[in-house]
Amino acid sequence: MAGIINGRLTASSKGREPIRFTVLPTPIKYLLLEVPPENKGDVYIGGATVASNNAPAIAKGTTREFTFRHDGKETPGDLSNLYVNFEHNGDVINYLAITV
């Protein structure tokens, strides 16, 4: 049964290591990301090694959406496979996901 989850991730002062959205397997069919205009820099979304040199930037003050196919031949996306990397400590990203 589909559901909706949302949250916010905040850049840590422990360095620029990617932050995982969740550790629990969370199949999703849609993900909306919002980077507030108050952030100091861009954010990057990808796998466990995501960084500014291997992923496109999501600029502050913008949104980005992802739709994952999930019919009988394709598996849905999984929020636990996604990480965010921030340019500046204290920056945030808001997310809303539709689960499968």
pLDDT for residue 67 is more than 70? yes
For the chain, the domain total comes to 1
> What CATH code is carried by the domain that includes residue 72?
2.60.120.770
Q: Quick one: pLDDT at residue 72?
A: 65
- The H helix count followed by the E strand count for the chain is 0, 9
pLDDT tens track for 2-15? 799 999 999 986 66
Q: Quick one: pLDDT at residue 35?
A: 97
Among 7-21, 33-47, 69-83, name the most confident range. 33-47
Question: What's this model's pTM, rounded to 2 decimal places?
Answer: 0.90
Helical residues (DSSP H) of the chain, grouped into ranges: none
Domain range holding 88? 3-99
Average pLDDT over residues 57-83: 89
- Alpha-carbon separation of residue 98 from 1, 3, 22, 56, 76 (angstroms): 10, 6, 14, 23, 11
Average pLDDT over residues 31-38: 97
Model confidence band, residue 75 (pLDDT cutoffs 50, 70, 90): confident
90/74 Cα distance (integer angstroms): 37
